[in-house]
Amino acid sequence: MPRVARYLPASGHDAGDARARIRPIMRALDREYRETETALHFRNPFELLISVIMSAQTTDDTVNRVTPALFERYPTPADLAAADPGEVEALIKPTGFFRQKTRAIIGCARKLVEDHGGEVPRTMEELTALPGAARKTANVVMANLWPGTGHGIFVDTHVRRTSQRLALTPSDDPVKIERDLMDLIPARRWHDIPHKLILLGRGPCDARSPDHEGCPLLRWCPTGQAVVGPAIRRPRRQS
C-alpha cells in the first residue's frame, strides 16, 4: 500500500464538496468512536491546564507518566508557583524541552494565583494570556472542562493530518485549519469531533502507514479513494 503522509488539496479543494461530506463524516466518526475526552489524566482544571502545556512536542502517555509525581509534590497553583525550577525540571524532564516547560508552568501557576485567585479562568482571552497557554491549549482545556460553549476547535497534529486527508481544509496552518473546521462543523460539536479525529489519526489514518482500505471514512475520503480506488476498480485476472 503506498504511503500518503499528508494531503493538502491546495489546488483542488472544494469547500462546497466538503460541506456536503461533513455530516456523513461526523456520523461515521460517531459510529466508530465513542470516546470524546482527552487521553491526559487529570483530577481538576489546574492539573489539566498544566498537563496540556507540558504535552507540546511529546505524547500524552509521557505526560501521564510524569504528572503523578509532579502533582503530588505541587498539588495547587500556589505550590507550583513557589516551586524550585530545578526540582520541577527533574520531574518533567522526560517530556522534552523541560527547561522551557518548567518556566511556562511555573509562570502559569503564578499568574493563576496573582490574577485569578488560584482558579483556572473560563474565557479564551484569559486562558491565552497565561504563560505557555496558546490557543490550542485553551481550546483543549475548554473542550474538556466546559464542552459545548462554542469556544473553538483545537488542532493538534492528528486533527491537522486527518482534516487535510479528508479534504476539509486546504491549509497547513493550524489557525486556518481551525477556521475551516469551525465553518463546516456545527458549534455544538466543536468539543468532541476533534477527539474523534485524533482517534482516527492514531488508528487507520496513521501518519506514515495509513490503512486506507480499513478506514471507516474511506467512502468520504478523497485521499483514501485516490490510493484504493484504482485497485478496487481494476478487473481481476482470469485464471
pLDDT for 9: 44
b/e 111-126 (16+ beta carbons within 10 angstroms → b): bbbeeeeeebbeebee
Q: Examine the residue annotation and report whether 111 is marked as an active-site residue of this protein.
A: no
- Closest by alpha carbon to 149, among 119, 185, 122, 177? 122
Q: Examine the residue annotation and report whether 176 is marked as an active-site residue of this protein.
A: no
- Looking up cell 461533513 gives 22
Catalytic residue among 156, 180, 192, 196: 156
pLDDT for 1: 35
The sign one gets for the Cα dihedral 123, 129, 130, 136 is positive
In three-state secondary structure terms, 26 is helix
> Is there a shared CATH topology between the 15-36+152-228 domain and the 45-145 domain?
no
The sign one gets for the Cα dihedral 113, 118, 124, 127 is positive
User: Taking a C-beta distance cutoff of 8 angstroms, is the pair 118, 144 a contact?
Assistant: no
Candidate CATH numbers 1.10.1670.10, 1.25.40.10, 1.10.287.3510, 1.20.1730.10; the one for domain 15-36+152-228: 1.10.1670.10
Q: Tell me how far apart the alpha carbons of residues 109 and 131 are, in angstroms, rounded to a whole number.
A: 9
Catalytic residue among 17, 60, 93, 136: 136
How crowded is residue 43: how many other Cβ atoms within 10 Å of its Cβ? 10
66-70, 108-112, 164-168, 235-239 — which is least confidently predicted?
Answer: 235-239
Per CATH, which fold does 45-145 belong to? Endonuclease III; domain 1 (1.10.340)
Please state the domain extents for the chain.
15-36+152-228, 45-145
How crowded is residue 83: how many other Cβ atoms within 10 Å of its Cβ? 20
Confidence band of 147 (pLDDT split at 50, 70, 90): confident
Per residue in 11-65, pLDDT tens?
Answer: 345 667 999 999 999 999 999 998 778 899 999 999 999 999 999 999 999 999 9
Per residue in 156-192, pLDDT tens?
Answer: 999 999 999 999 999 999 999 999 999 999 998 998 9
Q: Is it the case that residue 236 has pLDDT exceeding 90?
A: no
